[in-house]
């Protein structure tokens, strides 16, 4: 089981930095379909020649030279994540140091065009240049080297994390501990597994604080107040406008989450006792089937299933019976995209991707998609096993890959999502079409006559993934933005983390926590410095995209039954949006597919309307809230 899916990342990771232009843009680094490196690192441009460049010429040169450096950085990052050693950490840090050194120089050179009249494309490219890394390094060479070293160390500590309750022979990695959280129903065992993994974060605390100081210094040198302000600058609106939009979207979906929380708490109290799960209080975080309680679908079958006798088959059984392996799961995902008119994946994808966990070395199993900046070399890195969850994961990751392919003709700085939420939403939009009818069509479940009870079961199962995730997707960057701004200091890193988790998710830690702990570090996206709001946005955008594609496919089915499999018209509309990459404001890309320039959560409410009505009736006599 991978650490992904919601929050699950998504795209490829260049662990140290997130090159956003050609993108390491999804928390997992996304280098997007860039052109091949020709021969060696870019030669330095003579100072006199650089000074005479027009802004358009400067952008063209930077696109070429960043692409060459990004190819090296992506190769080093992919090698680190698929072969964690001291040597690969060093090579990754050095490659990123070279990239950051060039970036700092290019950003400084770009200042000579301040105040000039520029074409819209050049102005946008210069803006993307400033936002090209998730952690900009200070100009000082020693500080820059220290920043890349810290990034490598933080990600390696996460990837190597283990819990050894009875000494070296008892060690368990994240996959094994996550399996306990998903399968065990023993309160003490769940608590022990949760506590064991979260201890991984404590060793990152000092390094993370130093990382924040250096990254903030780099952001200030780029003209931003702090790193959080810089991250929000990529949304084609002011940070204040973006904060207001995020809050508006959260308020649209909050009533659905509140109903789900009330129902889940009552069912957990029935299982573990009201003394452990009292009404009107936050839910203990270890009981929801996921290490971060970001999805609750693992406890659906035996605890949260509304109608136990109503049939809702998963693909798990037939995946095993039919002996599906990681390659067959990935080919299945590819076939969905090709049914919409996307091309087949290149041969190198199958030769160079890591689809299963190797037995002989440490790797970062967090699923991610990678563009290697080398003439169509696209890959995914995952530890797939034959489960329905991992089937959805690989459909999701190929969304990133096909976005890379779709905008591969754009200049390097525009090889990115319209905004980072777009990149995460592409594959999940496809997953909304992986309906029970589709799974039956490909032979992974049996065809079942629909009933109201089966529909509620189906929607509950999906809501435990899609809706349960939303507050978690909202709070991670709220915590981080406050850390970057100084509102949250190292003295209250952990208490502030749990304050936000209580406020948004209605959760509490299963054991007392203190500032000796660093629970944010137990979540991949914190040590990897991957912005997280993208996932919150993507979980809203995917329903908006799905609604538009269903309209393009002329579907007459309710939104929750629509599958766009095989619709060339839906595929054409999708590609029209995807090929823009980051060349236009995200509002233009959104309008191209949906006809509106505003992100809207109304399609989520439409999709889950049957469940909302059921929850309203089910929770009538319960004490909701926390």
Examine the domain organization and report whether 167 and 221 are in the same domain.
yes
User: What are the E-state strand segments in 100-259?
Assistant: none
Q: Is 366 a catalytic residue?
A: yes
Calculate the CA 176 to chain-centre distance: 22
Identify whether 603 is part of a domain.
Answer: no
Q: Confidence band (pLDDT; 50, 70, 90) for 103? A: confident
Residue 578 in any domain: the answer is no
The SS3 of residue 305 is coil
How far is residue 242's CA from residue 240's CA, in Å, rounded to a whole number? Answer: 5
Domain end (from 502, 522, 542): 522
Is 331 one of the annotated active-site residues of the chain?
Answer: no
Question: Of 473, 489, 522, which residue is a domain's last?
Answer: 522
Active site residue 525: yes
- Classify burial at 471, counting beta carbons within 10 Å of its beta carbon; exposed 0-12, middle 13-18, buried 19 or more: buried
| Within a domain: 614 | no
Reported as a single tens digit per residue, the pLDDT across 557-577 is: 999 999 999 999 999 999 999
Which tokens is 219 given?
Answer: 């952001």
What pLDDT does residue 48 have? 56
Domain assignment present for 558: no
Q: Average pLDDT for residues 515-531, to the nearest whole number?
A: 95
pLDDT band at 448 (very low <50, low <70, confident <90, very high): confident
**195 & 67 share domain:** yes
Write b or e for each residue in 183-218: b if 16 or more Cβ atoms lie within 10 A of its Cβ, otherwise e: eeeebeebbbbbbbbbbbbeebbebbeebbebbbbb
134 a catalytic residue: no
Among 562, 595, 560, 564, smallest CA distance to 577 is for 595
Q: How far apart are the first and last CA of the chain?
A: 31
Three state DSSP letters for 340-391: CCCCCCCHHHHHHCECCCCCCCCCCCCCEEEECCCCCCEEEECCCCCCHHHH
Q: Same domain, yes or no, for 310 and 258?
A: yes
Average pLDDT over residues 114-136: 92
> What is the number of structural domains in the chain?
2
Domain finish residue from 479, 503, 522: 522
Whether residue 208 is found in the same domain as residue 64: yes
144 and 289 share one domain: no
Cα(515)–Cα(311) distance, integer angstroms = 47
Q: Is residue 441, in this structure, part of any structural domain at all?
A: no
Residue 45: per-residue pLDDT:
61
Helices (H) and strands (E) in the chain, counts: 23, 4
Q: Do β-strands 368-371 and 378-381 pair in parallel, antiparallel, or remain unpaired?
A: antiparallel
- In this structure, the answer to whether residues 220 and 295 fall within a common structural domain is no
Give the pLDDT band (50/70/90) at residue 22.
Answer: very low
Cβ-based neighbours of 473, under 8 Å, separated by 6 or more: 6, 7, 294, 532, 533, 535, 536, 539
- Catalytic hit among 55, 68, 367, 548: 367
Which one of 424, 463, 522, 524 is the catalytic residue?
A: 424
Whether the Cβ atoms of residue 311 and residue 454 lie closer than 8 Å to each other? yes
205 found inside a domain: yes
Tokens linked to 195: 């506590």
Residue 222: per-residue pLDDT: 87
Identify the pLDDT of residue 42.
56
Distance CA 457, CA 23 (A): 39
Residue 551: band (very low, low, confident or very high) from pLDDT cuts 50, 70, 90: very high
Q: Is position 423 annotated as part of the catalytic site? A: no
- Spatial contact of 257 and 471, defined as CB atoms under 8 Å apart: yes
Catalytic residue selected from 198, 261, 423, 525? 525
**Residue for token pair 């020649």:** 49
CA-based torsion, 232, 2, 157, 504: positive or negative? positive
DSSP state of 525: T
> Is 452 a known active-site residue?
no
Per DSSP, the residues of 534-588 read: HHHHHHHHHHHHHHHHHHHTT--S-TTT---TT-HHHHHHHHHHHTTTTSS-HHH
Nearest to 131 by CA among 268, 232, 40: 232
Catalytic, out of 3, 155, 389, 397: 397
| One domain, residues 189 and 114 | yes
Based on the domain organization, do 150 and 261 belong to the same domain?
no
For Cα atoms 83, 533, 13, give the angle at the middle one, nearest 5 degrees: 15
Q: Could you tell me the residue range of the domain that residue 99 belongs to? A: 47-227
For 420-441, what is each residue's pLDDT tens digit? 899 989 999 999 999 989 999 9
- Which stretch of DSSP H or E encloses residue 107? helix 86-110
pLDDT, residue 311, reads 74
Provide the mean pLDDT of the chain. Answer: 90
Range of weakest confidence among 392-396, 445-449, 507-511, 601-605: 445-449
173 by Cβ neighbours in 10 Å (0-12 / 13-18 / 19+) ranks as middle
Q: Is 447 contained in some domain?
A: no
Of 31-35, 270-274, 318-322, 549-553, give the lowest mean pLDDT range. 31-35
Catalytic residue among 535, 565, 574, 607: 535
Instruction: Please check whether residue 515 lies inside any domain of the structure.
Output: yes
Does one domain contain both 83 and 206?
yes
My answer on whether 63 and 144 are in the same domain is yes
Q: Which of 198, 261, 396, 423 is catalytic?
A: 396
Q: Count of alpha carbons within 13 Å of 476, Cβ hemisphere only?
A: 28
Q: Which is the catalytic residue, given 366, 402, 522, 553?
A: 366
- Residues 221, 139: Cα–Cα separation, whole Å: 8
Share of the chain above pLDDT 70, in %: 92
Give yes or no for a contact between 128 and 59, defined as CB atoms under 8 angstroms apart: no
Residues 207 and 303 in one domain: no
Could you tell me which residue, 37 or 511, shows the higher pLDDT? 511
Check whether 4 has a pLDDT greater than 70: no
Mark whether 546 is an active-site residue. no
Query: Is there a catalytic annotation at residue 493?
Result: no
| Cβ contacts of 287 within 8 Å, gap of 6 or more | 187, 190, 268, 272, 277, 299, 510
**Of these residues, 10, 72, 382, 400, which one is catalytic?**
400
Q: Are residues 179 and 299 in the same domain?
A: no
């Amino acid at each position: 089981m991978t650490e992904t899916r919601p929050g699950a990342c998504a795209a490829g990771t260049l662990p140290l930095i997130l090159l956003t232009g050609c993108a390491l843009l999804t928390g997992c680094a996304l280098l997007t379909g860039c052109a091949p490196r020709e021969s060696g690192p870019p030669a330095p441009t003579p100072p006199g020649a650089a000074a005479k460049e027009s802004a358009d010429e400067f952008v063209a040169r930077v696109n070429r030279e960043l692409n060459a450096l990004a190819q090296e950085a992506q190769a080093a990052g992919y090698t680190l994540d698929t072969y964690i050693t001291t040597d690969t950490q060093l090579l990754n840090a050095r490659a990123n140091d070279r990239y950051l050194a060039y970036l700092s120089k290019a950003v400084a050179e770009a200042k000579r065009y301040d105040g000039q009249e520029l074409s819209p494309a050049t102005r946008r490219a210069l803006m993307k240049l400033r936002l090209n890394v998730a952690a900009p390094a200070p100009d000082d060479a020693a500080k820059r080297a220290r920043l890349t070293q810290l990034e490598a160390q933080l990600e390696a500590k996460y990837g190597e994390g283990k819990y050894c309750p009875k000494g070296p022979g008892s060690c368990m990695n994240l996959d094994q501990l996550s399996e306990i959280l998903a399968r065990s129903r023993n309160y003490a065992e769940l608590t022990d597994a949760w506590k064991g993994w979260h201890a991984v974060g404590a060793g990152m605390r000092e390094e993370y604080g130093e990382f924040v100081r250096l990254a903030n210094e780099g952001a200030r040198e780029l003209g931003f107040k702090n790193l959080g302000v810089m991250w929000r600058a990529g949304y084609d609106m002011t940070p204040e406008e973006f904060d207001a939009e995020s809050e508006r979207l959260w308020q649209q979906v909050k009533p659905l989450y509140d109903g789900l929380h009330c129902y889940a708490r009552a069912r957990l109290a029935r299982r573990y006792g009201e003394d452990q799960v009292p009404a009107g209080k936050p839910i203990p975080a270890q009981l929801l089937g996921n290490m971060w309680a970001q999805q609750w679908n693992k406890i659906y079958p035996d605890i949260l299933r509304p109608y136990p006798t109503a049939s809702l088959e998963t693909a798990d059984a037939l995946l095993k019976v039919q002996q599906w392996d990681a390659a067959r799961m990935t080919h299945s995902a590819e076939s969905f995209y090709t049914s919409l008119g996307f091309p087949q994946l290149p041969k190198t994808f199958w030769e160079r991707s890591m689809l299963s966990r190797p037995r002989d070395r440490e790797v970062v199993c967090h699923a991610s998609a990678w563009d290697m900046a080398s003439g169509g070399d696209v890959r995914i890195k995952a530890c797939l096993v034959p489960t329905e969850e991992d089937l959805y994961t690989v459909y999701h990751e190929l969304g990133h890959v096909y976005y890379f392919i779709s905008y591969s003709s754009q200049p390097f700085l525009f090889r990115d999502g319209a905004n980072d939420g777009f990149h995460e939403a592409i594959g999940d939009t496809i997953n909304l079409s992986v309906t029970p009818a589709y799974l039956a069509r490909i032979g992974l479940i049996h065809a079942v006559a629909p009933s109201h009870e089966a529909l509620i079961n189906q929607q509950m199962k999906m809501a435990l993934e899609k809706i349960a995730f939303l507050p978690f997707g909202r709070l991670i960057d709220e915590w981080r933005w406050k850390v970057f701004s100084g509102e949250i200091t190292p003295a209250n890193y952990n208490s502030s983390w749990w304050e936000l988790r209580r406020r948004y998710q209605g959760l509490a830690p299963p054991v007392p926590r203190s500032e000796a702990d660093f629970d944010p570090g137990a979540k991949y996206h914190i040590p990897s410095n991957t912005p997280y709001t993208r996932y919150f946005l993507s979980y809203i955008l995917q329903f908006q995209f799905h609604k538009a594609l269903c309209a393009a496919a002329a579907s007459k089915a309710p939104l929750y039954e629509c599958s766009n499999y095989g619709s060339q018209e839906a595929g054409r509309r999708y590609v029209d949006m995807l090929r823009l990459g980051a060349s236009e404001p995200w509002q233009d890309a959104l309008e191209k597919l949906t006809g509106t320039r505003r992100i809207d959560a109304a399609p989520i409410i439409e999709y889950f309307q049957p469940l909302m009505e059921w929850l309203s009736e089910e929770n009538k006599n319960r004490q909701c809230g926390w």
